[in-house]
């Protein structure tokens, strides 16, 4: 079945772009190519080729653009190029060129030292090229991404040990708008890297700020510090499946305290119980109602924290919230938990933890 993708709702993966570029380069040995059809796990795709050029009797190159669509995907609009050279020996050899990352840590789908071109894209490139190769020929193809090094800085690649560029990804060939699964999987890879190195104790942080503070305050190895984004529940599930034994939840109060209310996806648009969590724990401690109202009517967590600090309530309230977070997590998972709640400036708000600092 041939699929033509509407550019607003769907796009192609970098794997499909690389495959299309490789096929276009091969076909351009016979003449200019404006579009190619490729086979993906979900069927056939017709993909526009930006440009193609014959370089010599047995070599050519082509470029495909990953079309824009409604998604925060940093690789949309990226150019993926392929350069091919026919070989007298049968087979398909795939290498990574400029802008394609190199794997430097264990635990990923690609061996250390190899270009970060995942197994499904490799299979797609191989099978689609073989469909157009003369029976007595092979081909070497180099996949490149001219702006890959810059774009990679906006991904988690460096955290996972992929250096020098982007990864060529995709399991279906089609990138769906707002595809949470692929987004979540990019976070999970950090757990795979950590576990491949034998780490059973992991530090979960919401994002870049939490990671920076954890590296400054704690004494754990960089690969033990895992960005979880908003996907607390998902990441805890994956950590337990991977055999992790102890999790430190470490980060700004604005994200971390939501877990005390049983909120395991901390995206603001999905759930926000920050003031309810703090106010309820103030109530449990018997704090005056007018003070609770002041916190409840505050806008930011930092503002709420300032009120607590001014009234010498910060430590008892956040200790109680930290205990509640641990209880919530231990109800769901057979792992040990510790919690560290911080202000934006790195001040630790609770004291009831047992963590290396």
- Burial of 279 from C-beta contacts in 10 A (0-12 / 13-18 / 19+): buried
Domain spanning 2-176: which superfamily?
CbiD-like (3.30.2110.10)
- Residue 7 clears pLDDT 50, i.e. is over it: no
CA 65 to chain centre: 22
- Residue 2 clears pLDDT 50, i.e. is over it: no
Per-residue model confidence (pLDDT) at position 43: 83
Contacts for 145 with CB less than 8 Å, ≥ 6 apart:
14, 78, 79, 80, 81, 98, 99, 100, 151, 165, 166
The answer to whether 196 and 243 are in contact (CB under 8 A) is no
- Residue 304 clears pLDDT 90, i.e. is over it: yes
- 279 vs 186, residue with greater confidence: 279
CA distances from 185 to 123, 225, 228 (A): 20, 16, 11
321 CB-side CA count, 13 A: 33
- Residue 38 clears pLDDT 50, i.e. is over it: yes
Per-residue model confidence (pLDDT) at position 70: 42
CA distances from 177 to 180, 186, 228 (A): 9, 16, 21
pTM score, whole prediction: 0.69
d(CA 237, CA 77): 33
Per-residue model confidence (pLDDT) at position 186: 75
Residue-wise pLDDT tens digits, 81-138: 999 999 999 999 999 999 999 999 888 888 999 999 999 999 999 999 999 998 899 9
Q: At what angle do helices 289-296 and 274-284 cross, to 10 degrees?
A: 170
- 174 vs 343, residue with greater confidence: 343
Domain spans in the chain, listed from the N-terminal domain onward: 2-176, 187-342
Residue-wise pLDDT tens digits, 152-197: 988 888 878 899 999 988 766 655 544 456 667 778 889 999 999 9
The pLDDT of 198-222, averaged and rounded, is 93
d(CA 112, CA 108): 8
- Residue 144 clears pLDDT 60, i.e. is over it: yes
Per-residue model confidence (pLDDT) at position 182: 64
Phi, psi of 184 (to 5 degrees): -65, -40
The answer to whether 102 and 116 are in contact (CB under 8 A) is yes
Rounded percentage of the chain residues whose pLDDT exceeds 90? 71
The pLDDT of 3-20, averaged and rounded, is 71
| Mean pLDDT (the chain, rounded) | 89
**14 three-class SS:** helix
């Amino acid at each position: 079945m041939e699929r033509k993708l509407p550019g607003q709702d769907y796009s192609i993966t970098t794997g499909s772009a690389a495959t299309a570029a490789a096929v276009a380069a091969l076909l351009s040995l016979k003449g200019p190519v404006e579009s190619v059809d490729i086979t993906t796990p979900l069927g056939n795709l017709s993909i526009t080729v930006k440009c193609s050029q014959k370089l010599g009797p047995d070599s050519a190159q082509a470029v495909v653009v990953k079309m824009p669509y409604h998604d925060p995907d940093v690789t949309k609009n990226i150019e993926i190029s392929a350069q091919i050279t026919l070989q007298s020996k049968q087979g398909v050899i795939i290498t990574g060129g400029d802008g394609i990352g190199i794997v430097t840590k264990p635990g990923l789908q690609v061996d250390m030292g190899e270009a970060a071109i995942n197994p499904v894209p490799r299979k797609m490139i191989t099978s689609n090229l073989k469909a157009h190769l003369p029976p007595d020929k092979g081909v070497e193809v180099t996949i490149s991404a001219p702006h890959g090094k810059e774009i990679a800085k906006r991904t988690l690649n460096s955290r996972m040990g992929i250096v020098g560029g982007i990864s060529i990804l995709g399991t279906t060939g089609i990138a769906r708008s707002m595809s949470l699964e692929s987004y979540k999987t990019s976070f999970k890879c950090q757990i795979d890297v950590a576990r491949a190195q034998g780490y059973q104790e992991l530090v979960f942080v919401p994002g870049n700020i939490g990671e920076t503070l954890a590296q400054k305050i704690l004494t754990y190895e960089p690969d033990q510090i895992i960005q979880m984004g908003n996907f607390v529940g998902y990441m805890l599930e994956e950590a337990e499946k991977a055999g992790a034994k102890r999790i430190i939840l470490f980060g700004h109060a604005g994200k971390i305290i939501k877990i005390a209310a049983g909120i395991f996806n901390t995206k603001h648009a999905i759930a926000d119980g920050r003031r309810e969590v703090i106010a309820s724990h103030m109530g449990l401690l018997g704090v005056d109602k007018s003070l609770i109202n002041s916190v409840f009517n505050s806008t930011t967590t930092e503002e709420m924290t300032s009120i607590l600090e001014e009234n010498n309530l910060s430590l008892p309230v956040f200790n109680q919230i930290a205990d509640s977070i641990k209880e919530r997590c231990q109800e769901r998972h057979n792992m040990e938990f510790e919690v560290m709640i911080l202000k934006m400036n790195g001040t630790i708000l609770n004291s009831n933890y047992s963590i290396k600092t």
